[in-house]
């Protein structure tokens, strides 16, 4: 058995990451990765990821208006999301998903890919 290490060939493709990553920048990159590799990020999931503060506020509102409800954690979060999503412009959020899937080149810089456009 040899102790030689395999070298990994370098590529000309690089990820363009912010110099000071923020929570939102990381979420944006992860969301794009989901679209690329899984292809199943729903409009509702994107809505939820971009409206966390509104969901948290709605959770408090639900608890205040309905103290008899025994909802906590995920159940309360899902109820708040369901109420907000029911009023959301679903076409707008679907168009954001579609644009996100088409706009991957903003986050991935690859000279050979750019030459193919």
Q: Where are the domains of the chain?
A: 42-109
**CA torsion angle for 46, 48, 49, 54 (degrees, to 10)?**
140
From the first residue on, what is the mean pLDDT of each consecutive set of 10 residues in the chain (117 residues)? 47 52 72 63 88 94 87 88 96 86 56 45
pLDDT of 105: 53
What was the pLDDT predicted at 89? 96
Three-class HEC string of 63-104:
HHHCCCCCCCHHHHHHHHHHHHHHHCCHHHHHHHHHHHHHCH
The span from the CA of 58 to the CA of 36, in Å, is 31
Evaluated on CA atoms 79, 84, 90, 96, the torsion sign reads: negative
* pTM, entire model: 0.56
């Amino acid at each position: 058995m040899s102790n030689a290490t395999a070298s990994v060939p370098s590529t000309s493709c690089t990820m363009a990451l912010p110099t000071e990553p923020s929570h939102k920048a990381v979420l944006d990159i992860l969301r794009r990765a989901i679209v690329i590799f899984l292809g199943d990020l729903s409009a509702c999931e994107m809505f939820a990821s971009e409206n966390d503060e509104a969901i948290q506020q709605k959770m408090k509102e639900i608890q205040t208006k309905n103290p008899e409800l025994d909802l906590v954690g995920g159940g309360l979060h899902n109820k708040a999301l369901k109420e907000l999503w029911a009023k959301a412009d679903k076409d707008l959020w679907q168009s954001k998903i579609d644009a996100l899937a088409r706009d991957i080149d903003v986050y991935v810089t690859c000279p050979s890919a750019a030459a193919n456009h």
